[in-house]
A and B are shown apart, each in its own frame.
Chain A
Amino acid sequence: MALLILGAGLSAIGYLVLDSIPVLVLGVSVITMGVIAAVGEGSIERVELELARPGWDDVAMLLESLGAASRAIYLPSSYTEFRAPIALVPLAKPTPPSIKLPRGLTVRYGSEGEAGLILHTPGTAAVTMCASVGALGSDLGASLTNCLVNHLAVARGVAVTTAESGYTVAVRGSRVQDIYGNTLVRSVLGSPTASIVASIAAESLGSPVIIEGEESRGGDVIIRLRVLGHGP
């Protein structure tokens, strides 16, 4: 868009003010570049996103076939033996694990033999990337701002307010693409933005977190998080 405006300005100045054909033609050239830049911006990323979508479709089918429909519990890396923040999809009662979870897709945890699925989410990648540069700390607001705004640049701002049983997070101007559409994955993991926020919250607080709800309000995504008790 900047190139289009620059090109139009150059053309106008060249034609109207300077009466110079070289400047006019340079403006026209910049306009042609601006058209390609404006239309083509992000198109490779969109293609890559479409190519990666079948993976999430498989996850949706897996969740459907197992009848897993309850909200995922986002766990910090300290809850797993492999030291990665993950989402635990409980197949029965949504209770946080009382043991450190081993690596694998399915896991049994808790005293009553609860079972669940271990999923690596967009939040897993976000936390890994942010933790590697020291953008995460014990303060939730600072961690979210450092990670989402300053390091990953996938949002324009984050505001955190304390609620009765957790936190309400408002993400302003989220640029996270919708990577799994409106499938069962969304109702289990939440939107990609909410998933990332929940993972960062779990890691920052060191406690399991559940997304209680989310809504879009204007350009903001409002996410309500519930913090569960401490586990292992």
Chain B
Amino acid sequence: MVLRRLLITQLVIYTVAIAFLAYLGVNDFAIYISLVTLAYLATILAYSPLPPKARTAANIVAAVLVAVFLYFAVIRILQILGVSL
């Protein structure tokens, strides 16, 4: 039951957030993935504790999303600092 509620909440938040960004004309993958990561972490925390195996999967997905987010964040910071890649 907790999983179902978590998934429904995530689906609603993702859809609203992505639709809103698309409406604003945002076309930057980094912004979308940052917002999705934020929504993901918030919903996982809100619905914790998850069942054991789901918790492991949620942690792995969180690590991947945060890694992708960090990649774009580092690129952006380096651009601001004027470091050419």
By a beta-carbon cutoff of 8 Å, the part of chain A in contact with chain B is 3, 21-22, 24-26, 28-30, 32-33, 35-41, 43-44, 47
Contact between chains at A36 and B32 (CB < 8 Å): no
Partner of A25, one of B11, B33, B58, B60: B33
Known: A22-B21, A32-B40. A43 touches B51 (CB 8 A): yes
On chain B, the residues within 8 Å of A47 by CB distance are 51-52
Known: A25-B33, A26-B15, A29-B14. A36 touches B3 (CB 8 A): yes
Contact between chains at B32 and A21 (CB < 8 Å): yes
B70 within 8 A of partner (CB) = no
Interface mask (B15-54 → A, CB under 8 Å = 1, otherwise 0): 1001101100001110011001000100000000011111
B7 within 8 A of partner (CB) = yes
B61 within 8 A of partner (CB) = yes
7 closest A-B pairs (Cβ-Cβ)? Answer: A40-B54, A43-B51, A39-B57, A25-B32, A22-B22, A29-B14, A43-B53
Closest to B1 in A: A44
Known: A21-B27, A26-B14. A36 touches B36 (CB 8 A): no
Other than the known A30-B14, A36-B3, what 13 A-B pairs have Cβ atoms closer than 8 Å? Answer: A21-B28, A25-B33, A26-B14, A28-B33, A29-B18, A29-B36, A32-B65, A33-B11, A39-B57, A40-B50, A40-B57, A43-B52, A44-B51
Known: A33-B10, A33-B11, A35-B57. A40 touches B29 (CB 8 A): no
Contact between chains at B33 and A36 (CB < 8 Å): no
The binding surface of chain B is classed by DSSP as: helix
On chain B, the residues within 8 Å of A21 by CB distance are 27-29, 32
Partner of A33, one of B7, B18, B19, B50: B7
Contact between chains at B58 and A36 (CB < 8 Å): yes
B66 within 8 A of partner (CB) = no
Bound Cα distance from A21 to B32, whole angstroms: 8
